[in-house]
Chains A and B, each alone.
Chain A
């Protein structure tokens, strides 16, 4: 499975309240703690679900991540079904 570090960052946000709080209050410094490519960092900070999906984030990490921002299911699916 690819995108290990990107998925690790998202999994921490989903699973650990302190990580989620850090990401929401100071996203740039949160992202800086992970070795992410420019593209991965940009997609994470923008919460670009389509880009994150194309970068290889597992659906059971990505959908819960989108739920933190109360993204409706239809919008989430539209985002991941779009090609770049």
Chain B
């Protein structure tokens, strides 16, 4: 079976928590873009969602960092942020799929970490809020370490994504893949507010073309040079790995200064899907 649905989206908290700070045209284009993705996702009639995501010191701190961490919980609560303006909710997990993903990875010499409990922050809740507002589909969150160096390499994120794509494709269930994070941003740091539009557009172009050679030529150092938060694009790289041969469509891209982030929304599909 093919992958049921795939998209990649930014999750800057401003899009919900201080939405009116953004220029109205930019905000409206992003909201329209999310609505277009929500509608396509609904039409895909998915059974569940795997998210390639990251977090912001919510569950994991420097006392223990895994480069990749697969959620094995049977349910997740989120968001943890009281200021996010999204009500706390419980979302079902899928421990069986998570275990299948882990076993496949370990059999192929990839060893992600795993967690039987995790709370969700804006990084995971914001995409779900826009794409599945009822939070009705079970999820498996796959968390990438984007916060503490050394982060996994772009090559490894791609290989890890490819392994997970193999599991998703083998499943009889209709599974959607959402990558979230990025694009260029440097939150809470001295260059907060700086957006590298050139890098964002080049990355979007490579994803649109399914240009795996270009995508995997980037390095986490290059992402970091565009802002620490840009390293979150590792989740998009993993999605490229999962899809294999693919093309994409930029649904919206807006460099939103008041949200301090280059906001990108893409829809992607495997070739011959």
**CB within 8 Å of B: which residues of A?**
1, 4, 7-8, 11, 14-15, 53, 58-64, 67, 73, 76-77, 80-81
**B171 on interface, CB distance cutoff 8 Å:** no
Contact A59 B57 (CB under 8 A): no
Residues on the B chain within 8 Å of A77, using CB: 190, 192-193
- State whether B149 touches A1 (Cβ < 8 A): yes
Distance in Å: Cβ of B224 to nearest Cβ of chain A: 13
Task: Digitize B88-126: 1 where CB-to-A-CB distance is under 8 Å, 0 elsewhere.
Answer: 000000000000000000000000000000000000000
Given A15-B58, A58-B147, verify A8-B63 contact (CB < 8 Å): yes
The contact of A58 among B63, B80, B188, by CB within 8 Å, is B188
Is A63 a contact of B188 with CB atoms below 8 Å? yes
* Interface of A, helix, strand, loop or mixed by DSSP: helix
Please determine whether B187 and A59 come into contact, CB atoms closer than 8 angstroms.
Answer: yes
Measured between beta carbons, the chain B residues less than 8 angstroms from A58 are 57, 147, 188
Contact B57 A1 (CB under 8 A): no
Report which B residues bind A (CB closer than 8 A). Answer: 56-58, 61-63, 80, 83, 147-149, 186-190, 192-193, 228
Are the C-beta atoms of B62 and A8 separated by less than 8 Å? yes
Given contacts A8-B62, A58-B147, contact A80 B57 (CB under 8 A): no
Contact B62 A60 (CB under 8 A): no
From known contacts A1-B149, A67-B83, A77-B192, infer whether A11 and B187 are also in contact, taking CB-CB under 8 Å.
no
Question: A80 touching B190 by the CB < 8 A rule?
Answer: yes
Contact present for B63 and A60 (CB under 8 Å): no
Contact in complex: A8, B61 (CB < 8 Å): yes
- Given known contacts A59-B189, A60-B147, A64-B188, what 12 new A-B pairs fall within 8 Å (CB)? A1-B148, A8-B62, A11-B61, A15-B57, A59-B186, A59-B187, A59-B188, A60-B187, A60-B188, A63-B187, A77-B190, A77-B193
Across-interface contacts of B188 in A (CB, < 8 A) = 58-64, 76
A17 vs B61: C-alpha distance in the bound complex, in angstroms? Answer: 17
Q: How far is the CA of A60 from the CA of B58 in the complex (A)?
A: 10
Which residue of chain B is the closest to A80 with respect to CB atoms?
B190
CA distance A53 to B186 in the complex (A): 14
Cβ A1 vs Cβ B62 within 8 A = yes
Residue in B57, B83, B187 whose beta carbon sits within 8 Å of that of A14 in the complex: B57
CB-based contact A4/B187 at 8 Å: no
Nearest-neighbour CB distance to chain B for A69, whole angstroms, equals 13
> Which residue of B has the minimal Cβ distance to A61?
B57
CA–CA, A4 and B80, complex, Å: 23
What would 20 A/B residue contacts be, using CB atoms closer than 8 Å? A1-B62, A1-B148, A1-B149, A4-B62, A7-B61, A8-B61, A8-B62, A14-B57, A15-B58, A58-B57, A58-B147, A59-B228, A60-B147, A62-B188, A64-B188, A73-B192, A76-B188, A77-B193, A80-B189, A81-B190
A10 to chain B, nearest CB (A): 9
| Contacting residues, chain B, for A14 (C-beta < 8 A) | 57
A58, B224: Cα distance in complex, Å: 14
Instruction: Report whether B57 and A60 are in contact in the complex, using a CB–CB cutoff of 8 Å.
Output: yes
A4: chain B residues within 8 A (beta carbon): 62
Residue contact B187 to A7, C-beta cutoff 8 Å: no
**Chain B residues with CB below 8 A from A76, complex form:** 188
Q: In the A-B complex, list the 8 residue pairs whose CB atoms are closest, starting with the nearest.
A: A59-B188, A63-B188, A59-B189, A60-B56, A60-B188, A11-B61, A1-B148, A81-B190
